[in-house]
A and B are shown apart, each in its own frame.
Chain A
Amino acid sequence: MTEMELETSFAEDEDAPNTASVEAAVVSPAPASKAATCTPELLKMYYSRLFPFSLLYDWLSYGSNTSIFSKREFSFTIEPVPDEEIYIRYQSFTTQEELAQAIVKRCPKKIDIGAVFSHSPKEKDTLQSGQLKPELRELVFDVDLTDYDGVRKCGCTGAQICRVCWGFMPMAVKVMDQALREDFGFEHIAWFYSGRRGVHAWVCDEVAKSLTDEARHAIAGYFEVNLGSENNKEVQLANPLHPMLARAYELLEPMFVEQVLPATGHGLLATPENCQAFLDELPEAAAPVREKLLPHWTSSKFNNTTPAEKWESIKEHLSAFLSAKKGVAKAAKNMSTKERNRLENWPVEMVFRHGYPRLDVNVSKARNHLLKSPFCVHPKTGRVCVPIVDVDSFNPFTVPTLPELEQELIKLDASADWKQTSLKDYFQGFENSFLNPLMKEIRRKQRDAAEQKAAITGDF
């Protein structure tokens, strides 16, 4: 993997602000060297000519005039003086124009979106403490490649990403998307690129928006799997696997074989050394399996089989070992139930460790946790947080950056907007695949409600 070229390498920075109620405090000095990817001038250009205010407004209004939108918290990270960031919470706006004006004027480096509150958040200071309560909030999920550091064998760490390790993102997105749709019955799910090294999901169904914090905790628990850590690799998955996890395994295993095992991936079974390390992961109880395979995989016979075949082989040996009857030489006798369970689930454990979504669950658990706004720009990369419509074909390295967009605009008239730029496919994809179906359902519900009312009053 050493020749794997890092296509980009972004500097470290701090994570999204938590919900600390600091309203306008200096958060932290920005890094001294500023890349030319996200200057105030470029931001101004983006906000005044390209930012899709109408998409954001239509979405967050959910078919009501302004009653929902005006109670939504926005927060801005601005930098009035270089290297001095100010974080302003509890902003709210009545109309799309008001939002647009404020953003163009303040030119925030980052925009976060919070909950829909019981009152307009901007009135916070006129309310008694405790009166401003979060009422609605999309169910959100955050997956970051940083959390995969232990299993990224491509050479990337921290905020760096490359095509190889980005492969973990489609794996995570597919597992989550499928479970949210099939298990929870959610339909209105939007995925976004965070602009650098991760993805966000916004689940916008009525049920999802109305969930209590307790319910969000439970949902996070439903998805959370203990994958062990560097120091403690002992993982206990329930046996038999929960249907959701069994399905995730079915989904992930082919991707694991294709993208993680071979040399073009993370090379887990691509060299004799890696093979040995892989076999070392087998629990002690399966030592006979390890001893059997090791000589084949670390000798001249190494090239006789592909990584995919080696994976099949290890699974076959393991299951033969587990089903061998007592008394047969090298049978799995005297094994505790715990050891047996772990061995039976070991292939699942390996696949999950290299592909099951690693969620930042705290983002999902509380209604008043802020999350970076879709469509804004990542300050470190200058890349737009674009919608991800088809995760398989999505390539983070071709997402438009501010300097690229500037070049595009130079060639267009002054009246051109995002529809004439490379943002078009992304934004229109969002409109067609997410926003239109959402609006359609809202209108259908409004119609049904009106008809019901008419039926009651006899006013047909």
Chain B
Amino acid sequence: MNVIGLTPKSMKHAESNLPSLNWYDTTPNYELSLDQFEVYALKRLKVLRKIEQIKMMKVTPDVIRQKLDRVIKQEDLTDHDIDEASHFILRLSYCQTEELRRWFLQQEAALFRHRLQALSEQQLAYAVRKYAQLQPISAAEKEKYRDSLLQFTTPVEYQTAQFYAVPFTQALSLLATRQCFLRAGSAYVPQSKVLTILEGKFRTDLARFLALLANAGSFQAAQDAEASRIYPLLKNMHRALVPPREQQMHLPAGQVLTADNVEQFTSSMPLCMRQIHAGLKADHHLKYQARLQYGFFLRGAQMSLEDALLFFQRHFTKVTNEKFQKEYAYNIRHMYGKEGGTKDGRKEGQLGYGCSKIIGGLVAPSSANEHHGCPFKHYDEQNLHRLLQKLNIGDEKDRREILQQKKMQQYQLACLKHFEVTHPNAFSSDVPMDNVGNHPNAWFQASVTYQNKFQSTSSSNPSEPPKAVSP
């Protein structure tokens, strides 16, 4: 069954020098049983989920590599066919929405990078030639820029080091951190950094494929006739294997978020929600985007509809009751699935917006009274630094590290770092850390759990947690 609906270019798996690497630019064309179809997809999904989790763990790159290798092997993604088929099945399943596409792209790029890192120098040079059509610069050119290029390797390495030249627009992350030499619009990238270029190209290509699939309505096309057997599978794939996520998001047993006690919990909120809350208090109003982001968050944290209505109305002090009912109450009820077509709630927001949505899926705030978004992404460095200082988050060194993550565009890691410095020893305790840095509600839940746990030994302010707790 040719599930992708594109014409395959080739049926044979070229014996290449790169056994583990696949650019996935050729649609596979072979029969799969329905069982295999599902099993392969789930195998890859397990690997991608693991990648998402590992990124958030506080372990060394070596440990990350080991763990990833183990799961890749365990799920048979070392097998070329399974790897390829599962990629294309998930590609089709994850082209459905913007948010799914972004998630898939992120994890696939990380998997690709992991595989690049395992290559030998020769294999990498081969991959660069094959996939990016790049040759190392000539010895003459290398000699010409010798003094400048020397800044990017040690003098000993320089003798044998290869450099590649690409248009600077293909090396943005290296450009932003001045990790390449730039001349006449070309970025000169040392061998050690060239995988960034390859990963970037892989990402761009995959993003384009996904957009094409989405625009071509391929997902809907899978609904017809014989494909109807796989349609439900594809549609629900992204929900498979997820531990009941609600449980990760709820407050610990016995605690309920109400219109009256939100205030006490703000110090346990991640920075994005804290800022919206502060904005709400300052302006006595929230614009649409922030209302959704915060409203879904509160809903995700199990605030009841009645409390949510009460909460917002109390804070919208400049608005008459009549106006509130007319303009805002509908909106809030809609978030709870009590209004609008489907009546089952806005699926997307059911559990609160995830970080990928907040970081990349919203129109960036463009004025001072728009409070939505992710402060790590949407604030400039100065403002973020000032905010961290104001909220007394960590010491100057911690704040530098957070800003450094921001600079590297690792906004989620910056947020995780924020959690770490305000919740010492959380990692070594049994506070549920899954998805902290991936989802505001998980952050919130972990923080509240942490407070409960250490309550007896400290004040309830997470900015001043217990300094030493023996595990």
State the A residues within 8 Å of B (CB): 18-22, 182-186, 207, 211-212, 214-215, 217-222, 232, 238, 240-246, 361-362
From B176, B185, B366, A20 is in contact (CB under 8 Å) with B366
Contact B175–A21 (Cβ < 8 Å): no
Q: Which residues of B contact A219 (CB under 8 A)?
A: 175-176
Q: How far is the CA of A222 from the CA of B175 in the complex (A)?
A: 6
Q: Which residues of A contact B176 (CB under 8 A)?
A: 217-222
Pairs across A and B, CB under 8 Å, 5 listed: A18-B368, A20-B367, A20-B368, A183-B183, A217-B176
Q: How many cross-chain pairs have Cβ atoms below 8 Å apart between A and B?
A: 67
Is B205's beta carbon under 8 Å from chain A? no
Q: From residue 153 to 178 of chain B, which have CB atoms closer than 8 A to chain A?
A: 168-169, 172-173, 175-178
From B151, B169, B367, A240 is in contact (CB under 8 Å) with B151
B140 to chain A, nearest CB (A): 19
Q: How far is the CA of A244 from the CA of B177 in the complex (A)?
A: 12
Q: How far is the CA of A407 from the CA of B150 in the complex (A)?
A: 59
Is B380's beta carbon under 8 Å from chain A? yes
Q: Which residues of B contact A182 (CB under 8 A)?
A: 183-184
Q: How far is the CA of A284 from the CA of B148 in the complex (A)?
A: 31
Q: Which residues of B contact A185 (CB under 8 A)?
A: 183-186
Q: Which residues of B contact A220 (CB under 8 A)?
A: 176
Q: How far is the CA of A186 from the CA of B185 in the complex (A)?
A: 8
Residue of B nearest to A216 (CB): B172
Contact B185–A218 (Cβ < 8 Å): no
Is B407's beta carbon under 8 Å from chain A? yes
Known: A20-B367, A21-B366. A218 touches B182 (CB 8 A): no
Known: A182-B184, A185-B185, A218-B175. A243 touches B151 (CB 8 A): yes
Query: Can you name 17 extra interface pairs (CB under 8 A) apart from A215-B169, A221-B407?
Result: A19-B366, A19-B367, A20-B366, A20-B367, A183-B182, A184-B168, A184-B182, A184-B185, A185-B186, A211-B169, A215-B172, A218-B176, A221-B177, A232-B396, A240-B150, A243-B147, A243-B181
A47 to chain B, nearest CB (A): 29
Known: A185-B184, A207-B185, A211-B169. A362 touches B177 (CB 8 A): no
State the B residues within 8 Å of A (CB): 147-148, 150-151, 168-169, 172-173, 175-178, 181-186, 366-368, 380, 396, 407
Contact B151–A214 (Cβ < 8 Å): no
B378 to chain A, nearest CB (A): 11
Q: How far is the CA of A18 from the CA of B365 in the complex (A)?
A: 11
Q: How far is the CA of A396 from the CA of B176 in the complex (A)?
A: 33
Residue of A nearest to B176 (CB): A221
Contact B367–A238 (Cβ < 8 Å): no
B365 to chain A, nearest CB (A): 10
Contact B178–A222 (Cβ < 8 Å): yes
Residue of B nearest to A241 (CB): B151
A236 to chain B, nearest CB (A): 9
Q: Which residues of B contact A19 (CB under 8 A)?
A: 366-367
Contact A18–B169 (Cβ < 8 Å): no
Contact A244–B182 (Cβ < 8 Å): yes
Q: How far is the CA of A23 from the CA of B361 in the complex (A)?
A: 25
Q: Which residues of B contact A212 (CB under 8 A)?
A: 169
Most buried by B among A21, A182, A222: A222
B88 to chain A, nearest CB (A): 28
Contact B380–A362 (Cβ < 8 Å): yes
Q: Which residues of A contact B178 (CB under 8 A)?
A: 221-222, 238, 242, 244-245
Q: Which residues of A contact B173 (CB under 8 A)?
A: 218
Q: Which residues of B contact A246 (CB under 8 A)?
A: 151
Residue of B nearest to A224 (CB): B381
Q: How far is the CA of A244 from the CA of B147 in the complex (A)?
A: 12
Q: How far is the CA of A14 from the CA of B173 in the complex (A)?
A: 34
Q: How far is the CA of A243 from the CA of B179 in the complex (A)?
A: 10
B215 to chain A, nearest CB (A): 15
B201 to chain A, nearest CB (A): 15
Q: How far is the CA of A299 from the CA of B410 in the complex (A)?
A: 53
Listed from nearest, the 3 A-B pairs whose CB atoms lie closest are A221-B176, A20-B367, A185-B185
Known: A185-B184, A218-B173, A232-B396. A18 touches B407 (CB 8 A): no
B352 to chain A, nearest CB (A): 24
Residue of A nearest to B150 (CB): A240
Q: Which residues of B contact A241 (CB under 8 A)?
A: 151
Q: Which residues of B contact A222 (CB under 8 A)?
A: 175-176, 178, 182
Residue of B nearest to A247 (CB): B148
B149 to chain A, nearest CB (A): 9
Q: Which residues of A contact B380 (CB under 8 A)?
A: 361-362
Q: Which residues of B contact A361 (CB under 8 A)?
A: 380
Q: Which residues of A contact B366 (CB under 8 A)?
A: 18-21
Residue of B nearest to A205 (CB): B185
Contact B185–A22 (Cβ < 8 Å): no
Residue of A nearest to B366 (CB): A19
Q: Which residues of B contact A218 (CB under 8 A)?
A: 172-173, 175-176
Residue of A nearest to B172 (CB): A218
Q: How far is the CA of A112 from the CA of B182 in the complex (A)?
A: 32
Q: How far is the CA of A215 from the CA of B174 in the complex (A)?
A: 11
A382 to chain B, nearest CB (A): 30
Most buried by A among B176, B183, B368, B380: B176
Q: Which residues of A contact B151 (CB under 8 A)?
A: 240-243, 246
Residue of B nearest to A214 (CB): B172
Residue of B nearest to A368 (CB): B366
B36 to chain A, nearest CB (A): 39
Residue of B nearest to A19 (CB): B366
Q: Which residues of A contact B407 (CB under 8 A)?
A: 221
Q: How far is the CA of A182 from the CA of B145 in the complex (A)?
A: 13
Q: Which residues of B contact A214 (CB under 8 A)?
A: 172
Q: How far is the CA of A238 from the CA of B180 in the complex (A)?
A: 13
Q: How far is the CA of A242 from the CA of B182 in the complex (A)?
A: 10
Residue of B nearest to A243 (CB): B148
Contact B367–A21 (Cβ < 8 Å): yes
Q: How far is the CA of A22 from the CA of B151 in the complex (A)?
A: 48
Contact A18–B396 (Cβ < 8 Å): no
